[in-house]
Amino acid sequence: MTESVTKPSLLAVGGLDPTGGAGLLLDAAAARHVGVHAAVVVAVVTVQDGGSFALARPEDPALVREAVDFVLRALPVGAVKIGALGSAGIVEALTEASQAPSFPPLVVDPVMRSTTGGVLLDREGVAALAARLLPRSALVTPNLAEAAILAGCEVGSVGQMEKAARRILELGAGAVLVKGGHLDGDEAVDVFVDRTGTVRVLRSPRLPVGKVRGTGCALASLVAALLAKGEPLEAAVERGRKLLLREMGRARRVGPGPLVLDFSGAPAEDE
């Protein structure tokens, strides 16, 4: 009989996409792909698919806080990944939870809108996120539009990505990864900055696969899951990007809209 080994866990708090192309179901798949157990807390329920968005309903902040606290007591959570939160009240609930001395490293993916335009965090929620939750984070992972809102500047080039990342760092984040997947060009470019003065422009050839849904969500989840396993932040960012690019090459058609990440292949550590 082999001795059982406690498996590290990732707690993902965010939106439930019933079609599984983004949000918590994708978070869980990404975590399992790198050998990490996934626990989830639903902050906002959505009705959407890859081509349309019907509605979003935030959950009760007290319920979200209670569920987060329960999971943290029950499981060996090595990192927490935040996605769509829906309301300022839920942002505040997560901020209060994160103030516990034992709270794990926090990766904030500041999701504000779906790819089809649905609002996933209201204006008051965005302000609360910037003022209250970002200063608690080990890493913030905005896309170009989210970085522009948080930094208060235009973000449409690599230079502007670095400028925005530095401004978001000033909000109190431990590190920032601006995701440049929507930039034009033959390369996928992300910009990483941290409080030690590190600035890295991460470039990869753009895959000829067309649009793939949930890539930003998956990248943040992969990095968070690798942090839960004990990998250093910068190494987790690099490996997370490589894993995402590989999985984009395996994306599949599932319903309307862009391709969907699958994550059903061999676990990453076995390849």
For residue 266, the model assigns a pLDDT of 55
CA dist., res. 22 & res. 1, Å (int): 38
Taken in order 229, 73, 33, 137, the sign of the CA dihedral is: negative
pLDDT of residue 167: 97
Task: Provide the pLDDT for residue 120.
Answer: 92
Give me the phi and psi of 123, to 5 degrees please. -60, -40
CA angle 93, 55, 260 (to 5 degrees): 95
Radius of gyration of the chain from its Cα atoms, rounded to whole angstroms: 17
Per DSSP (E only), the strands in the chain are 9-16, 37-48, 53-58, 77-82, 106-108, 139-140, 175-180, 187-194, 199-205, 212-213, 259-260
Amino acid identity, position 115:
T
Q: What is the pLDDT of residue 204?
A: 86
- pLDDT at position 270, please? 44
| Tokens (6 digits) for 102 | 């034992």
Q: Hey, which CATH number is domain 9-260, 3.40.50.150, 2.40.50.140, 3.30.70.100, 3.40.1190.20?
A: 3.40.1190.20
Residue 174: φ, ψ to 5°: -75, -35
pLDDT per position as a tens digit, 166-189: 999 999 999 999 998 777 777 889
Q: What local confidence, expressed as pLDDT, does residue 271 receive?
A: 45
Would you state the pLDDT for residue 57? 96
Under-50 pLDDT residues of the chain: 1-3, 270-271
